[in-house]
Amino acid sequence: MLDSDYSPRFAFSICRWYRWFAWRPVRTLDRGWRWLRVVHRRRVQTHAFLDGPVLTWDQYAVGR
Q: Which whole number is the average pLDDT over 28-50? A: 94
Residue 17 in this model has a pLDDT that exceeds 70? yes
pLDDT band at 48 (very low <50, low <70, confident <90, very high): confident
- First-last CA distance in the chain: 7
The b/e string for 23-47 (b: 16+ C-beta within 10 A; e otherwise) is eeebebeeeeebeeeebbbbebebe
Mean pLDDT of all residues belonging to the chain: 90
The identity of residue 21, as a single letter, is: F
21 vs 4, higher pLDDT:
21
Q: How many CA atoms lie within 13 A of 33 on its CB side?
A: 3
